[in-house]
Amino acid sequence: MSVSVTSFFHQQSATFCYLVCCLNTGSAIIIDPPADFDAPSGTLSFTTANKIIDYIHANKLKLEWLLETHAHADHITAASYIKHKLGSTHPCKLGTGAGITQVQDYFSQLYQIDMPCDGSPFDELFNDNSHYPFGECQFGVLTTPGHTPDSVCYLIDDNVFVGDTFFMPDSGTARCDFPGGSAKKLYESLQKILSLPEYTIMWMCHDYQPNGRKLANKTTVAEQRLTNVHLQSSKQAYIETRESRDATLSAPKLLHPAIQMNIRAGALPKELTPQLTIPLTVLL
Ligand SMILES: [Fe+2]
């Protein structure tokens, strides 16, 4: 095996962040780094991100990429913070799926943010089946829309980092009710991931520990094929079950701050005192 995978769990959002390292060179990538956000006080902090930065320094790694699997709705990304904090000693790139332009376009209008919707400030927008080197290794990109239009998975050796597509087999799959989401598209994306070799290791983005079971973030394509609780019936049944379940779900607690920050790769709003907004829904 030419890479190592180290996971960091962010308790607040039940998110796994991954640091993948090329063993021969020490070149590394980070996938889905989370920031901490206290909504009542509007305080943004970086406990998990700082742990990852300390790990990079302690192991003398060279960070080359900060990757997002999608614009998350449940936590703010620490990607821009880490890029800024590591500075010129680690001139890494920010990358995400090319569908981010669609997400930027929709949400910049909703939140009235004056910003270009061309994918900036990300450095690289990924299309399906593209490949990028880090050290002597490479990562491949699979576009997997459904949860969001910009969702991608990253393939590295026999590992796939699935973002919000699959959850652990006992938890099923991700919701599809955000703008631009589609249960039909997610089903097709899930099949695309399931077509990988059965020994491929799937690394989860989230684990919500149903029925209090032990935290878990790793499974295989074979296990998902056989036991995922959402995929043991037809495509039509999946879509109907997914859509009816999504209709019962409430908005993620950090939806508004997370999306406003994440369409900018976690960069702060430009105002002297940065502001985030909450569009009102009024029920009369
Ligand atoms: Fe998500």
Q: What is the pLDDT of residues 190-202, one digit of tens each?
A: 999 999 999 999 9
Domain coordinates in residue numbering, the chain: 3-262
Query: Cα(252) to centroid of ligand 1, in Å?
Result: 10
pTM of this prediction?
A: 0.96
Cα–ligand 1 centroid distance for 136 (angstroms): 30
Distance CA 23, CA 156 (A): 13
Separation of alpha carbons 233 and 213, rounded Å: 25
Going from the Cα of 206 to the center of ligand 1, the distance in angstroms, rounded, reads 9
**Interval between CA 75 and ligand 1 midpoint (Å):** 9
Question: How far does the centroid of ligand 1 lie from the alpha carbon of residue 100, in Å?
Answer: 13
Look at the chain and count its residues.
284
CA of 255 to the centre of ligand 1 (A): 10
User: Residue 270: what pLDDT?
Assistant: 84
Cα 175 to Cα 165: distance, rounded to the nearest angstrom:
8
| The pLDDT of residue 198 | 98
The rounded Å distance from CA 284 to ligand 1 centre is 30
Q: Per CATH, which fold does 3-262 belong to? A: Metallo-beta-lactamase; Chain A (3.60.15)
Distance (Å) from CA 151 to ligand 1 centroid: 9
The predicted structure's pLDDT at residue 90? 77
The pLDDT value recorded for residue 1 is 56
Distance 134 CA to ligand 1 centre (A): 25
Residues of the chain with pLDDT under 70: 1
Contact assessment for residue 194 and residue 3, using Cβ atoms and an 8 Å cutoff: no
Q: What residues are neighbours of ligand 1 (ion), with CB under 5 Å?
A: 72, 164
Residue 77 Cα to ligand 1 middle (Å): 11
Distance (angstroms) between ligand 1 centre and the Cα of 154 equals 15
Which CB contacts under 8 angstroms, 24+ apart, belong to 207-213?
207/14, 207/16, 207/167, 207/168, 207/171, 208/14, 208/167, 208/171, 209/14, 210/170, 210/171, 213/170
